[in-house]
A and B are shown apart, each in its own frame.
Chain A
């Protein structure tokens, strides 16, 4: 845990910037003027690409070349993806994957 002031500033920045993304359209286009085409296009495709970036972000510190050779990550990710393909239930896949991963790093690959 970093110090309280630093933590509060990070939370403040997250709050202000998040609110900005929600309020900006209402401030920029108060009368519902036509939004630029390129903006509309980015709105459709950017979220999917950024989510993929966050996946890479989550695995960025995974250790591949030494024991346990990323096995907990590979196994748990496999369960997340396969259970999602099977049931299409977001919460089930997150729950199952997380519990399995915790079991693997605490009990199996210690």
Chain B
């Protein structure tokens, strides 16, 4: 019986993960290629995609590795980049309740893309929810791992000139920034983040500006809380009417 339940859940989950497959194969490929260009073999790409499993963070981790970053700044950087996961978790407390032995894995696998597939909390009819969440999560990670491995292998095999491939990280964050800028709700936070970081870069220099930036961004966001919460509420009301 268990087997049939799993097969149903797989059949329900797989088509829903196809858009993520496209995204993860390409972004994972870029990550693998980038890591390989810094002298790390494909095993490193696979290891990182199995253990860290966080898209933008792994691009930044390539930089942390190639510059030999300190442990404290690595920890802080990771925390700030992934802090948004805290809020995904908060909204998944209820749906992920009573999911039994797959619970640790589906929490571990709660990336932006997986969250976008499960956040509605809806599970297709006749499918066991823990199995559905499990297949969605593990299929997504399998795309990410294979994409990273392929990117690293491709880079090694073709020995192409990878100079400039670092720009993929810049392009990724520039796109996310542009998208945030276009959205009324996230425009002011994006501008605050940009201005504060730029000022910190000027004051503290390229190798020391991240930690002060994170501190001052948090302070600035708290100072703008009234304006921003009001804007968010207005937006929310407009959506509801």
Contact = CB atoms under 8 A, between A and B. Distances in A.
A6 to B, nearest CB: 6
Contacts of B154: none
B48 A17 contact: no
A45 B189 contact: yes
Nearest to A49: B193
A93 B80 CA distance: 25
Interface string B26-50: 1100100000001110001001100
B107 A54 contact: no
B75 A13 contact: yes
B171 A1 contact: no
A7 B164 contact: no
Interface residues of B, number: 96
A52 B221 contact: no
Interface string B100-140: 00000001101000000000000000000000000000000
Contacts of B38: 1
Interface in B64-105: 64-66, 68-69, 71, 74-75, 78-90, 92-94, 96-97
Interface string B216-236: 011011100100110010000
Main DSSP-derived SS at the A contact region:
helix
Given A13-B74, A14-B54, 14 more contacts: A11-B51, A14-B78, A22-B89, A25-B89, A32-B94, A40-B87, A43-B90, A53-B217, A54-B81, A60-B209, A72-B164, A80-B174, A97-B167, A102-B164
26 contacts: A1-B39, A7-B65, A11-B51, A13-B75, A14-B57, A14-B64, A22-B107, A41-B228, A42-B83, A43-B86, A45-B189, A48-B180, A48-B189, A49-B190, A50-B81, A51-B190, A52-B189, A53-B210, A57-B210, A76-B171, A81-B174, A81-B178, A84-B179, A93-B171, A98-B30, A106-B164
The 10 closest A-B pairs by CB, nearest first: A52-B193, A25-B89, A49-B193, A43-B87, A1-B39, A102-B164, A48-B186, A48-B189, A101-B167, A58-B170
Interface of B: 22-23, 26-27, 30, 38-40, 44, 47-48, 51-54, 56-58, 60-61, 64-66, 68-69, 71, 74-75, 78-90, 92-94, 96-97, 107-108, 110, 161-165, 167-180, 182, 185-186, 188-194, 196-198, 201, 206, 209-210, 213-214, 217-218, 220-222, 225, 228-229, 232
